[in-house]
Structure 1
Amino acid sequence: MFSAIKSSHQGVDVLINNAGLALPEPLLTGRTSSWRTMIDVNVIALSVCTREAYQSMKERNVDDGHIINVNGMSGHRVVHSADVHFYCSTKYAVTALTEGLRQELRDAKSHIRATCISPGLVETEFVYRLYRENPEKAAATYGDKKCLQAGDVASAVVYALSSPPHVQIGDVQMRAVEQMS
């Protein structure tokens, strides 16, 4: 992917890591293969894309780039649902990776910024995929409350990208007014 970007667009100036996968695999009974899949998507792929984007910026002397990790409130709290405890651990890793990236960029004397956008429940296909075996549970997750929309998250990304070059937006935590946790 990064080779194609280099060929078509010279490289990456902004990276938005927005992959996330949750599988209903409790800690006490979950399948190791599903846990590995969540680690591969939510942690390893994010880290690989971050490394490649940074290398692209570095080789072209881009010192005002931006790396944004779309995380989630699950990277800051653990909900009372065994189905997502392992998933939450991968999102806590994203929180740590974003702060670690910020520190490494600072130590490298780079002005590339690292931001974590952490939305709560967003009305997307995410919950329906998590509970594809139980569509009623997915529908109940959204219930009758007004959830965040994809556009709300996009607005947070635009906010981070449009901040002045000397401003580091570390983490934007956002949730719907009616969301419980």
Structure 2
Amino acid sequence: MNRWTGRVALVTGASVGIGAAVCRALVAHGMKVVGAARNVDKIQALADELKDHPGSLMAVRCDVSKDADIMDMFADIKRMHGGVDACINNAGISYSQNLLEGTPDQWREMMNVNVVGLCLCTREAVASMRARGVDDGQIIHVNTMSGHRVIPSNASYFYAASKFAVTAVTEGLRQELRELKTNIRVAGISPGVVETDFHIHLKGDVEARKLYESMECIQPKDMADSIVHILSAPKHVQIHDILLRPTQQPL
């Protein structure tokens, strides 16, 4: 990770869970981290906690479902730090309604956050890297096992569709970057059950706790460790996708 010291990483969905753990890990490795979320209070509290660490954390308000928020965020990053060297697209959303009961507004929001916002952040990050001659930058999409298989759960079908799109986008971007003859890389990381607030929002506290107690779940730090592993790979190594399940998870 030595080559990343002092360089700039953007982490979306940075206020809690995986995003907060990634911010913590990258700051520990001396990176200048921009943490983005709709609610910046928790990111600012984390920034205050990490102020004596080797790197730094800057909180930026951004709703990745809104194009203008993303463009404003990248303008702020350019003004404050010059640009982005690594972009970790972690923001994601799901609703518990099945396909036959869901609403177009819910579907659009999932696509806007999980796919369109991810693509726009990626486009702007790569543009920032190329404009500054950064040839070893890194894009990381936080995907999910539901981007690779469909389990029999009514509440996950449209969410899975959005994440299958992320899987396709990851491979498409790899091919585009290769055609550009750049060493900027893209990777996905696709976890199974991670013990965060995600399933609490999706299933409610009682059902989420039952799920978390049914196995030894992946922890946000486990995800952060895998992201550090991706960043640590030499530039001739393309880590394309890490599939990360709890050992006891059946699917």
Which bracket does the TM-score occupy, shorter chain normalised?
A: over 0.9
Q: 1:169 aligns with which of 214, 239, 251?
A: 239
- Asked if 1:7 is matched to 2:87, the reply is no
State the SS of the aligned residue for 2:83.
coil
Which structure has more relative contact order (CA 8 Å, sep 6+)? It is 1
Find the counterpart in structure 2 of residue 143 from structure 1.
Answer: 213
- Asked if 1:44 is matched to 2:116, the reply is yes
Contact 1:66 1:112 in 2 (8 A): yes
Q: 1:119 aligns with which of 179, 191, 195?
A: 191
Find the counterpart in structure 2 of residue 99 from structure 1.
Answer: 171
In 1, Cα distance between the equivalents of 2:242 and 2:165?
16
Q: 2:228 aligns with which of 147, 155, 158?
A: 158
In 1, Cα distance between the equivalents of 2:116 and 2:98?
21
CA positional deviation for 1:79:
1.2
Find the counterpart in structure 2 of residue 21 from structure 1.
Answer: 93
Contact 1:25 1:35 in 2 (8 A): no
In 2, Cα distance between the equivalents of 1:25 and 1:105?
37
Find the counterpart in structure 2 of residue 109 from structure 1.
Answer: 181
Task: Give the unaligned 5+ runs of structure 2.
Answer: 1-72
CA positional deviation for 1:56:
0.4
Find the counterpart in structure 2 of residue 74 from structure 1.
Answer: 146
CA positional deviation for 1:95:
0.5
State the SS of the aligned residue for 1:68.
strand
Amino acid at match of 2:142: V
The percentage of aligned residue pairs carrying the same residue is: 51
Question: C-alpha offsets along residues 99-157 of structure 1, whole Å, 9 cap, x if unaligned?
Answer: 000000001111100000111110000001112xx432222222331100001001110
Contact 1:72 1:119 in 2 (8 A): yes
| TM-score with structure 2 setting the length | 0.70
Amino acid at match of 1:148: I
| TM-score with structure 1 setting the length | 0.96
State the SS of the aligned residue for 2:186.
strand
Task: Give the unaligned 5+ runs of structure 1.
Answer: none
State the SS of the aligned residue for 1:176.
coil
In 2, Cα distance between the equivalents of 1:155 and 1:7?
30
